[in-house]
Amino acid sequence: MQESLVVIVRASITFFTILLYARLIGKQLIGNFTMFDYINGITIGSIAATLATDLSSKALVHWIALTVFIVLTILLQFIGLKSRYLSKIQDSEPVILMQKGNILEKNLLKVRITKDELMQQLRSKDVFSPVEVEIAILEPDGTLSVLPKSDYQTVQKKDLHVPAEPVKLTTELIIDGKVIPQNLEQRQKNEDWLMDQLKIRGVKSLKEVSYAALLPNEMFYLDKVDDNISDDLNISDYDGPY
């Protein structure tokens, strides 16, 4: 009975402590998490759980640890408002993954995202063909922002009184230099046709191909390992070290 009472008291103290600290931190941890927010939130929750239930140690020790984490979190928030350098270290910067329909492999490698994961994120944004993308940006909270090319801005066919056509999906044919034979068969194509398409576009080896697909309108989409984009965008809003 006494042990249960201690747990009730410690859990109550923890509850109201977390409530108070959550108000002090603000809405940052309630919205989309950055990696720092996510790890920090888990750590604070773990300390709070130990404070409430670990009867083998003194509550004061865990309460001090919890308070230190909260104080440091609030301190970093205030310093981040004054220092762009610290803010970028804490939350990182957006990263461009696609530009003008081209996949930027170096940036994919930098953020450790596969092409399959990128295509999945595009589909979640109702973009089913990479050729439609003007720019795709991975935000610090892990979400993907996509700007379609002007030619692919959404227009409702019913508004134009245009008859609807059967829906088709983009078929991936090559990923990282490897051909996907079953997808060729699905679109009633063969490797000779595929190699002809590559040859027309100046590709001499499969190693030069990062991603190739057949679009629903039978258009062949190709992204080379070397993108050769002359006007590479820089979306960083911070140039200096401080």
Of all residues in the chain, what percent carry a pLDDT higher than 90? Answer: 35
Q: Is residue 10 part of a domain?
A: yes
- My answer on whether 86 and 135 are in the same domain is no
Q: How is residue 241 written in tokens?
A: 């070290």
- Tell me how crowded residue 224 is: count the other CB atoms within 10 A of its CB: 18
Instruction: Note whether 43 and 79 are same-domain residues.
Output: yes
Pair (102, 182) in one structural domain? no
Q: Is residue 236 part of a domain?
A: no
Among the listed residues 128, 216, 104, 208, the one whose alpha carbon sits nearest the alpha carbon of residue 195: 208
Side-chain-side CA neighbours of 210 within 13 Å: the count stands at: 18
Residues 6 and 57 in one domain: yes
116 and 186 housed in the same domain: no
Q: Are residues 130 and 157 in the same domain?
A: yes
Domain that residue 180 falls in: 166-228
**Tokens, residue 21:** 């600290």
| Mean pLDDT within 90-107 | 87
Instruction: Tally the C-alpha atoms within 13 A of residue 140's C-alpha that lie toward its C-beta.
Output: 16
> Is 235 among the domain residues?
no
Co-location of 8 and 68 in the same domain: yes
What's the mean pLDDT when you consider all of the chain? 82
Rounded Cα gap, residues 133 and 211, in angstroms = 14
Which residues, including other chains, have CB under 8 Å from residue 21's CB and lie 6 or more apart? Answer: 44, 66, 67, 70
Lateral strand order in the sheet of 178-179: 178-179, 171-175, 209-214, 220-224
Residues 101 and 157 in one domain: yes
Per-residue model confidence as pLDDT tens digits over 22-74? 766 655 544 456 667 777 788 888 888 888 888 888 888 888 888 888 888 88
Q: Cβ contacts of residue 177 below 8 Å, gap of 6+? A: 206, 207, 208, 209, 210
Does 234 reside within a domain? Answer: no
Residues 186 and 118 in one domain: no
Q: What integer pLDDT is reported at residue 30 of this predicted model?
A: 46
Q: Is residue 215 part of a domain?
A: yes
SS3 74: helix
Please indicate whether residue 32 or residue 204 has the higher confidence score (pLDDT). 204
Tell me: do 72 and 145 sit in the same domain.
Answer: no
Residues 7 and 82 in one domain: yes
pLDDT band at 240 (very low <50, low <70, confident <90, very high): low
Number of domains in the chain: 3
In this prediction, residue 233 carries a pLDDT of 67
Helical H runs in the chain? 2-25, 35-53, 59-82, 84-91, 105-111, 115-124, 157-160, 181-186, 191-200
Residues 30 and 63 in one domain: yes
What CATH number has the domain bearing residue 177? Answer: 3.30.240.20
Any idea what DSSP says for residue 202?
Answer: T
Q: Name the domain boundary from 142, 164, 186.
A: 164
In a domain, 202, yes or no: yes
Q: Of 65, 90, 115, at which residue does a domain stop?
A: 90
Tell me whether residue 237 is in a domain: no
Q: Is the backbone of residue 32 left (phi > 0), alpha (psi -120 to 50) or beta?
A: beta
Q: So what's the pLDDT on residue 70?
A: 84
Q: Per the domain annotation, does 187 fall within a domain?
A: yes
- pTM higher than the cut 0.85: no
Residue after which a domain boundary falls, among 143, 164, 185? 164
- Weakest-pLDDT range from 101-115, 148-162, 186-200: 148-162
Bridge partners (DSSP) of residue 138 are 95, 144
